[in-house]
Amino acid sequence: MNKKVPLKKFAELLASEAECKPAEAQTFVKDVFQIIAEKVYNGESVEIHGLGVFSASPNLTEPVKFEPAVEFADELNLPFAMFQPIVIGDGISVEEINAIQSNVPQTEEVEAVEITEPTANETDLSETVAVTDCEVSEVSDVKSTDDTDDGKCECDPDSNNESKSMVDDGNSEQKDEEPDIKDIDEMPQDIEIKSDGSCEPDIENETKDDPDVEETASWTDREGETEESSSETCTYLPEDDEEYVEYYDAPRSRFGMGFIIGLLSGLIIGALAFAAYAIYFANNGQKLF
């Protein structure tokens, strides 16, 4: 890779391909390019099939011009054959593309900072992630009521599932689900409009005073209001609670029961074996130990 192949080495490679002596291959290469140099010097062009065309150039710094053959260039660029030139949209400049490419790692860092150190608005975001199943379903209901400006219901069952999976996976999924979280984050602002402004003070108090204590109350307040408002316009889609119960509780109880049963059965078998051992030696009149 990126090394210079001298004539001797090149002749050896050529000889191994042509199954001849390296000396013959070296002579051949020397003579071929000597003849080409003479012909080009006389103003003629020389074509080697599969390699390219040598021609004279008026440029004295580069007197011999070499044009590789099409098949040679195609074969050389075969690894990139699947790529095609792409016309970039009019609204995007080269500087913007370079800026986007250079800012890709920085945006990832910013995302990480947003998650670890939430601001006032993002405190709501983390709270929405930590809410229970019912509350998440309420969030989707609120969103649906916000969309019902025309009086039509646009409840989306998929939005329930997305929110549910987000809560289920916890913080590890938080980064991946960020677009959805942002949608939820916009929710309290919409509540200010739709729920007669009653939720606005609660949200501000949560973020400023003590979010741990007051967030539950505020969310439960919101639940009632949003349920009332949403029940008029759209139907409530119940969620399955089975997933949450099975994953966390069932394996522990099974393990404990199995451990106790195994321990008891081991003790019983041991006691029976010892009893059989003792009876055997008692019947034979020997000492037990």
Partner 1 sequence: MIETESLKEVLLNETSLSEKLIDILMEKLPEVMLDCAKELDAVAIPGFGTFFSEKQDERVVTDKTNGENVMLPPQIKYGFKSSVVLRKKFVG
Question: Which residues are near partner 1 by CB under 8 A?
Answer: 1-7, 10, 13-14, 17-20, 24-25, 27-37, 39, 41, 44-54, 56, 60-66, 68-69, 72-73, 75-77, 80, 83-88, 90, 92-94, 97
**Nearer Cβ to partner 1 (42/284):** 42
Pairing of strands 46-48, 64-68: unpaired
Minimum gap (Å) between residue 97 Cβ and partner 1: 6
The enclosing H or E element of 56 equals strand 52-56
Minimum gap (Å) between residue 207 Cβ and partner 1: 44
Nearest to 237 by CA among 184, 162, 151, 130: 162
**Nearer Cβ to partner 1 (92/217):** 92
**Nearer Cβ to partner 1 (76/264):** 76
**Nearer Cβ to partner 1 (61/116):** 61
CA–CA gap between residue 279 and residue 273 (Å, rounded): 10
Minimum gap (Å) between residue 107 Cβ and partner 1: 21
Nearest to 198 by CA among 172, 168, 229, 152: 229
Nearest to 218 by CA among 82, 123, 150: 123
Residue type, 81: A
CA–CA gap between residue 258 and residue 242 (Å, rounded): 23
Minimum gap (Å) between residue 66 Cβ and partner 1: 4
Minimum gap (Å) between residue 163 Cβ and partner 1: 38
Minimum gap (Å) between residue 105 Cβ and partner 1: 19
Residue type, 156: D
**Nearer Cβ to partner 1 (64/115):** 64
Residue type, 35: I
**Nearer Cβ to partner 1 (29/237):** 29
Q: What angle do CA 205, 137, 126 make, to 5 degrees?
A: 40
